[in-house]
A and B are shown apart, each in its own frame.
Chain A
Amino acid sequence: MHRTKVRIVEDALDANNTIAQANRADFDRAGVTVVNFMSAPGAGKTSLLERVVGDVPGVRIGVLEGDVQGSMDAERLAGLHVPVTQLNTDPSFGGECHLDANMVRSALPELPLGEIDMLVIENVGNLVCPAEFKVGEDARVMVSAVTEGEDKPLKYPLMFRTCDLVLVNKIDLLAHLDYDLDRFLYNVDQVNPGAERLLVSASTGEGIEAWRDWLSVLAARSREGAIA
Chain B
Amino acid sequence: MHELSLSGAVLNTVVKHAGARPVSLVSLRVGRLRQVVPDTLEFYFEFVARGTVCEGARLELEIIEATLRCEECDRGWEIEIPAFRCPTCGGAEVAVASGNEFEVESIEVEETACIAQK
Contacts and interface: CB of A to CB of B under 8 A. Distances in A.
- Whether chain B is bound by chain A comes out as yes
Interface of A: 1-16, 93, 96-98, 126, 128-129, 132-133, 153-154, 157-158, 161, 189-194
Contact of A98 (B5, B81, B83, B112): B5
Interface in B28-72: 28, 33-35
A203 B91 CA distance: 36
B103 interface: yes
A165 to B, nearest CB: 16
A12 B5 contact: no
Contact of B110 (A3, A9, A161): A3
A12 B12 CA distance: 8
A13 B10 CA distance: 8
Contact of A1 (B6, B9, B112): B112
Contacts of B111: 1-4
Given A1-B111, A3-B110, A97-B1, A8 B85 contact: no
A191 B35 CA distance: 14
A99 to B, nearest CB: 11
A7 to B, nearest CB: 5
Contact of B83 (A14, A97, A128, A191): A191
Contacts of A6: 17-18, 106-109
A191 B103 CA distance: 23
Contacts of B35: 128, 157-158
Contacts of B106: 5-9
Q: Is the interface of B mostly helix, strand, loop or mixed?
A: mixed
A74 B67 CA distance: 42
Contacts of B84: 161, 190-193
Contact of B13 (A4, A8, A154): A8
Contact of A4 (B4, B28, B109): B109
Contact of A157 (B82, B101, B108, B112): B82
A158 B99 CA distance: 12
A4 B112 CA distance: 10
Given A7-B105, A161-B84, 10 more contacts: A6-B18, A7-B106, A9-B105, A10-B103, A12-B10, A128-B35, A132-B5, A161-B82, A192-B84, A193-B94
A153 B84 CA distance: 12
B75 interface: no
B76 interface: no
B102 A11 contact: yes
Given A1-B110, A129-B1, A154 B81 contact: yes
A5 B13 contact: no
Most buried by B among A12, A96, A129: A12
